[in-house]
A and B are shown apart, each in its own frame.
Chain A
Amino acid sequence: MGLLKARDSAIARAADVAAEGDLPRLDHPDAPMRRRAVQALSGDPASVDTLIAVIRDDADNMVRQAAFVALAGLNTGPAAQGVAALLSEADPALRNGALETLAAMPEHAAPLLEPLGRHDDPDVRIFAVLLAGELDYAATADWLLDLGARERDANVCSNLAEALGGCGRGEAVAVLDTIRARFPEEPFLAFAVDTALQRLAED
């Protein structure tokens, strides 16, 4: 039959083939070698700046993803801060990768909501609201209520409505009502508020 038992040594040999003579480097012409260079940095708390630079400069997804996962695995304040800076990048793959990575380090991401919620760019504020939705509401509900009371951008507000609908706090009802009143001409905002109120009532 064609079946053959694998030998551990054969697997190990296969793993080493690429390593001979050619070392992984962040500026290697081959993406798999750059990916290995990124993976070699995992667990090193001093690698944050390097990893962020890789994410910004290396367009290859296999390299970028390794860097995002390495940052998420670090799970430190500086890693979260470095990643949060990517939320205002022009490339949506970077912004959304940053959001996902922040959601994986909730303790260090939660303190960043406050400054992100004051960012000039409404898209960054939307990311902050989406991030809050992925963290534990016990840590984010106060911030959501506070932002809901003052936010003027319709799209930030529609995302706020969705997040407030899941926060389980009675005070959210009044904040949702003010959001509705702020956009009398927008049927979608009214829908978002109604949906959120319904979810709060069900909780």
Chain B
Amino acid sequence: MTQPAILSERRVDGETPEPAALARVLIVDDTLTIRLYCSQLLKRAGFAVHEAINGLEGLEQALQLRFDLFVVDINMQKMDGYAFLAEVRRNPDLKAIPAVMLSTEQGREDIHRAYQSGANFYLTKPIDPVRFLATVNLMTGVACP
């Protein structure tokens, strides 16, 4: 398995160095409470966390900073989660970065569409903190529960 970006010290221009972290995660969600909650859980577990309020802002950040994992909501203004993942998977620099999709929708079709758009994993809301952390650990390859 390849090392997380933050460990292998791959740097993109203009990037400010961060204190040592397990891996760098981008949370893309339009609700403040979700961003706060995920961010607190991940920071406590030793991850570096960045936030974006919609898919387009997420894409802008992903183009400027190297991430180890995207945590992506479905419903967002300007660019929804499916469209974000489709853009990420089309981009040669971003396509290998794993993504966890978070959504309220539990219908079979939505899960199917998430995987089709390029999600590697799908979690339903409300977020279960134990499952969430275990998934992030698994997807970033930093720990084996």
Contact = CB atoms under 8 A, between A and B. Distances in A.
- The answer to whether A and B touch in the complex, with CB atoms under 8 Å apart, is yes
Interface of A: 92-93, 95-97, 99-100, 122-123, 126-127, 130, 154-155, 158-159, 161-162, 183, 186-189, 191-192, 195-196
A124 to B, nearest CB: 11
Interface in B66-86: 74-78, 80-83
A154 B81 contact: no
Interface string B16-30: 000000000000001
Contact of A123 (B32, B33, B104): B104
The dominant DSSP class at the A interface is: helix
A154 B32 CA distance: 16
B36 A99 contact: no
Q: Chain B, interface size: which category?
A: 20 to 34
Contacts of A191: 33, 36-37
A192 B32 CA distance: 10
Contacts, number: 61
Contacts of A122: 104
A93 B127 contact: no
A92 to B, nearest CB: 4
B145 interface: no
B16 to A, nearest CB: 28
Given A92-B75, A99-B77, A123-B105, 6 more contacts: A92-B80, A92-B81, A158-B31, A186-B126, A187-B128, A191-B37
A139 to B, nearest CB: 21
Contact of A96 (B76, B126, B129): B76
Contacts of A127: 75
B80 A155 contact: no
A191 B33 CA distance: 8
B126 A93 contact: no
